Amino acid sequence: MKFTLHIWRQENARAKGHFETYEIDNISADCSFLEMLDQLNEKLINDKIAHPVCFDNDCREGICGMCGLYINGRPHGNDDGVTTCQLHMRHFHDGDEIWVEPWRAKAFPIIKDLVVDRTAFDKIIQAGGYISATTGGVPDANNILIPKHKADQSMDAAACIGCGACVAACKNASAMLFVGAKVSHLALLPQGKPEAADRVKKMVCKMDELGFGGCTNTYACEAECPKQIKRQNIARLNRCWIAQAFGRDRRED
C-alpha cells in the first residue's frame, strides 16, 4: 500500500513545530501503524532525508499504554478498542493521506515530535491511587468475600493502561475517564474503602491543579478508550466526590 503522511515535527518542548509530508510505498496491509512508521524512519535514515520521527512505544501488544498517536482526528486511529500499536494498515485505503499529531493538552507537554510527557497521570496516581495494606503472609482467599459483579467491574476499570487517549479525544482535554477508572477499581473493593473519601478528593484536586479540563459528558473518551472504559466510571467518580463532600471530616473519626 501507498500513503502520504503528514507528520508533526517539533525539535523540543519550546521549539515551534510544523507538519512535514512524506510519501511511503510498499506497506503491507497487515503491518501495524508503528511498523509502518518504523519503515518510514528506516527510509529517512538510509536516504539521509531527515532525522527519524520520534514516537513513543514499548510493549507493542496493547498493554503498556505508551503508544498514543492522534491519527486523522482520532486518538489511536480509525479502529475501536485498540491502541496505536494494534492498529493495522488494513484500516486505511491505498493512497490515503494520513495526518499524525501528538496528544494535545496543556497537561501533556510535547517532548519531541510525537512524544508527549504523561507524567501528569503519574502525579494523579501518586496523589491517591493506592491502598494501605499490611505486608506479611498471603491471606486466605475467603477472608474477604467480594461479590462477583463488583470484582468484574473493578477489573474492568483496572484495565486502564493510562495511555491518555481519553484526554486526547476530549474537547476539554479532561482526564475524568482516567481518574474515574483509577478511583473506581479501588472504590469497588473492600480493600479500597478505608481511603475512599481521601482518595477521590486528592486525585480530583491534583487533576484540576495539573491543568486538565472538566467533563462535559461528551463521551469522546469512552468512544476512543482502547480498553473500553465506560462512562459509568465518571458517574461513579461524581458520586464519590459528592459523598466525600458531604461526608464528615476524616480527622474526627
| Interaction residues for another protein, span 186-225 (CB under 8 A) | 204-205, 207-208, 211-220, 223-224
Pairing between strand 97-101 and 70-71? antiparallel
Q: How far is the CB of 246 from ligand HEM (least distance, A)?
A: 18
DSSP run (H or E) holding 154: helix 148-158
Stretch that binds another protein, among 55-63, 86-94, 97-105, 130-138 (CB under 8 A): 97-105
Pairing between strand 3-9 and 18-24? antiparallel
Applying CB under 6 A, which of residues 119, 126, 216, 228 lies at the interface with ligand HEM? Answer: 216
Q: How far is the CB of 57 from ligand FES (least distance, A)?
A: 4
Contact track, ligand FES, 43-72, x by CB under 6 A: --------------xxxx-xxxxxx-----
Pairing between strand 3-9 and 97-101? parallel
Environment class of 22 (CB within 10 Å of its CB; exposed 0-12, middle 13-18, buried 19+) = middle
Kindly report the length of the chain. 253
The verdict on 217 binding ligand HEM (CB under 6 A) reads: yes
Q: Are the beta carbons of 139 and 190 closer than 8 angstroms?
A: no
Could you give the maximum distance between any two Cα atoms of the chain, in Å? 69
Binding region for ligand SF4 (CB under 6 A): 160-166, 177-178, 181, 225-227, 229
Binding region for another protein (CB under 8 A): 6, 8, 19, 70, 72-75, 78, 99, 101, 104-107, 169, 171-174, 204-205, 207-208, 211-220, 223-224, 231-232, 234-242, 245
